[in-house]
């Protein structure tokens, strides 16, 4: 199945693209996508556990199952002051 990936801020820099489509197996989870993207762009591992993933605009746990056409956003930590 195909899902859309959106990457923001530092995640965009490490992923190398602001967005793209990824094919994953049926029944894949958010965690499966995280691992797939880290294999495709190993520098994403630099963000470690602070990288959050959102499915269709809602923060998601790694065990959440994806569906065809879902959108997964890579959300790095945000700093500021």
- SS3 per residue for the chain: CEEEEEECHHHHHHHCCCEEEEECCCCCEHHHHHHHHHHHCHHHHHHHHHCEEEECCEECCCCCECCCCCEEEEECCCCCC
Is 60 exceeded by the pLDDT of residue 81? Answer: no
pLDDT surpassing 80 at residue 76? yes
Q: Which domains are delineated in the chain?
A: 2-75 (3.10.20.30)
What residues does 18 pair with on adjacent strands?
A: none
pLDDT, one tens digit per residue, over 16-71 is 888 999 999 999 999 999 999 999 999 999 998 899 999 999 999 999 999 999 99
What is the pTM assigned to this prediction? 0.89
Structure confidence at residue 78 (pLDDT): 78
């Amino acid at each position: 199945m195909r899902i859309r990936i959106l990457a923001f801020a530092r995640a965009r820099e490490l992923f190398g693209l602001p967005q793209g489509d990824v094919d994953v197996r049926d029944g894949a989870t958010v965690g499966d996508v995280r691992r797939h993207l880290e294999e495709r762009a190993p520098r994403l591992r630099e963000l470690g556990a602070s990288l959050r993933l959102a499915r269709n605009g809602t923060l998601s746990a790694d065990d959440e199952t994806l569906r065809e056409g879902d959108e997964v956003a890579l959300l790095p930590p945000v700093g500021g002051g």
